């Protein structure tokens, strides 16, 4: 008999690993990726491949240079690359996407200590950096099925358009048949992915529901039109942001109460930027701003310990 292993209890564990969680997020994003391919063509896959590949490579190099344990096997870099790609217009030059990956993995994630330690969402931050660095390329929207046309047709993202909305337009938005980043247009695909993650208990719906809910209500009161309020939540990156970025573990609060505060904050900031800002889209900024507030939200939304005396010892 070999020497017995002696270790503290518990001696049993469940089999949910970090990589299992990440794999589930990847699975949940596949519908959105497929929708992107349908609407924007196979270049979507090329762009996604470049983002994922460069993210994993940057992660590998970073860990190597920092003489830390290699963490690419936890698949978190793959998730970052995938989410980043879904946040980019399909026409973006590939070298810009690589810069985005660099920002996400090297600057936002690894410089702060790697997985779980970053305070800002890597993909969101990378998108914002690209947005302010290459505004033209980052807003070069093309119409769905552009690849079938003889010449690429430029098209505005629905949020830039003004004018009336109607039910038919909202259905198009729900299905993703409109201009925008390659993974953000199809609300249906994102909803399927988000619900899958919720069903697998990977994410809590607290943040997405409060995010989308408050944005809907604010728009409803502001415009007094259900169609317009629906248009506000279906257009732009709301679903992608709410289900996949406002639920990021590292950069959002842990407790349910905290998640609700986070979601409400995102919804309110998105609404304010869209209505009163000079900028058509506010989802990325709202999530980044709330990321920054997360440590404070956490302090204020701690769980109540069962039977604990109120912090009298302070």
Q: Is 7 in the site for another protein (CB under 8 A)?
A: yes
Please identify, using beta-carbon distances, which residue of 13 and 224 lies nearer to another protein.
13
The least distance separating another protein from the CB of residue 253, rounded to whole angstroms, comes to 9
Unique residue bearing structure tokens 């988000």: 194
Please identify, using beta-carbon distances, which residue of 67 and 148 lies nearer to another protein.
67
The one segment of 6-14, 54-62, 82-90, 276-284 that binds another protein by CB under 8 A: 6-14
Q: Is 119 in the site for another protein (CB under 8 A)?
A: no
- Scan residues 253-272 and list those touching another protein (CB under 8 A): 254-255
Q: Is 296 in the site for another protein (CB under 8 A)?
A: no
Spell out the long-range contacts of 197-200 with Cβ–Cβ below 8 A and sequence spacing 24 or more. Answer: 197/24, 197/25, 197/28, 197/243, 197/247, 200/24
Q: Is 117 in the site for another protein (CB under 8 A)?
A: yes
* Rounded (10°) angle between helices 122-133 and 76-86: 40
Unique residue bearing structure tokens 């709330």: 290
The one segment of 83-91, 126-134, 176-184, 300-308 that binds another protein by CB under 8 A: 300-308
Alpha helix positions (H), 152-309: 167-175, 187-199, 206-223, 226-234, 238-240, 256-276, 283-300
Q: Is 14 in the site for another protein (CB under 8 A)?
A: yes
Q: Is 16 in the site for another protein (CB under 8 A)?
A: yes
Measure Cα distances from 159 to 197, 228, 234 in Å: 28, 11, 10
Please identify, using beta-carbon distances, which residue of 17 and 64 lies nearer to another protein.
17
3-state secondary structure of 142: strand
CB 142 within 8 Å of CB 40: yes
The residue among 57, 118, 133, 119 whose CA lies nearest residue 88 is 133
The least distance separating another protein from the CB of residue 172, rounded to whole angstroms, comes to 36
DSSP line for 56-99: HHHHHHHHHHTT----GGG-HHHHHHHHHHHTS-TT--HHHHHH
Binding mask 162-201 for another protein (x = CB under 8 A): ----------------------------------------
- 132: its two tokens: 């302010």
- 88: its two tokens: 């980019």
Please identify, using beta-carbon distances, which residue of 204 and 210 lies nearer to another protein.
204
- Scan residues 46-105 and list those touching another protein (CB under 8 A): 71, 74, 76
- Scan residues 235-254 and list those touching another protein (CB under 8 A): 249-250, 254
Q: Is 21 in the site for another protein (CB under 8 A)?
A: yes
Q: Give the integer Cα–Cα distance in Å for 218 and 207.
A: 16
Q: State residue 89 phi and psi, 5-degree precision.
A: -70, 145
The one segment of 14-22, 137-145, 148-156, 273-281 that binds another protein by CB under 8 A: 14-22
Q: Is 18 in the site for another protein (CB under 8 A)?
A: yes
Residue 255 carries which DSSP code? S
Q: Is 11 in the site for another protein (CB under 8 A)?
A: yes
Which of residues 2, 67, 136, 163 is near another protein by CB under 8 A?
Answer: 2
Please identify, using beta-carbon distances, which residue of 8 and 163 lies nearer to another protein.
8
> How many CB atoms within 10 Å of residue 201?
10
Positions touching another protein (CB under 8 A) are 1-2, 4-14, 16-18, 20-21, 71, 74, 76, 113-117, 204, 249-250, 254-255, 302-309, 311, 313-314
């Amino acid at each position: 008999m070999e020497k017995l292993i002696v270790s503290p209890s518990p001696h049993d564990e469940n089999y949910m690993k970090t990589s299992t969680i990440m794999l589930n997020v990847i699975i949940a994003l596949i519908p959105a990726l497929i929708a992107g391919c349908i609407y924007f063509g196979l270049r979507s896959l090329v762009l996604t491949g470049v983002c994922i590949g460069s993210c994993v490579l940057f992660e590998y190099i970073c860990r190597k240079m920092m003489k830390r344990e290699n963490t690419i096997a936890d698949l978190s870099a793959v998730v970052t690359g995938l989410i980043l790609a879904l946040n980019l217009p399909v026409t973006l030059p590939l070298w810009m996407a690589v810069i985005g990956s660099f920002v996400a993995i090297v600057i936002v994630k690894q410089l702060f200590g790697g997985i779980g330690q970053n305070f800002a969402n890597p993909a969101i931050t990378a998108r914002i950096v690209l947005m302010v660095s290459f505004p033209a390329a980052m807003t070069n929207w093309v119409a769905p099925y552009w690849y079938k046309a003889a010449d690429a047709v430029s098209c505005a993202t629905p949020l830039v358009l003004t004018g009336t909305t109607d039910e038919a337009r909202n259905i198009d938005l729900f299905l993703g048949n409109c201009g925008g980043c390659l993974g953000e247009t199809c609300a249906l695909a994102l909803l399927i992915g988000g619900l899958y993650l919720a069903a697998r208990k990977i994410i809590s719906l607290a943040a997405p529901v409060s995010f989308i809910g408050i944005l809907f209500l604010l728009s409803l009161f502001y415009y007094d039109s259900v169609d317009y309020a629906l248009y506000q939540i279906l257009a732009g990156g709301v679903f992608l942001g709410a289900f996949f970025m406002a639920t990021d573990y590292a950069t959002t609060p842990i407790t349910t109460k905290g998640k609700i505060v986070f979601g409400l904050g995102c919804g309110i900031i998105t609404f304010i930027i869209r209505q009163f800002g000079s900028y058509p889209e506010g989802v990325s900024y709202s999530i980044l701003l709330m990321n920054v507030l997360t440590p404070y939200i956490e302090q204020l939304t701690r769980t109540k310990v069962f039977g604990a005396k109120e912090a009298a010892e302070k």
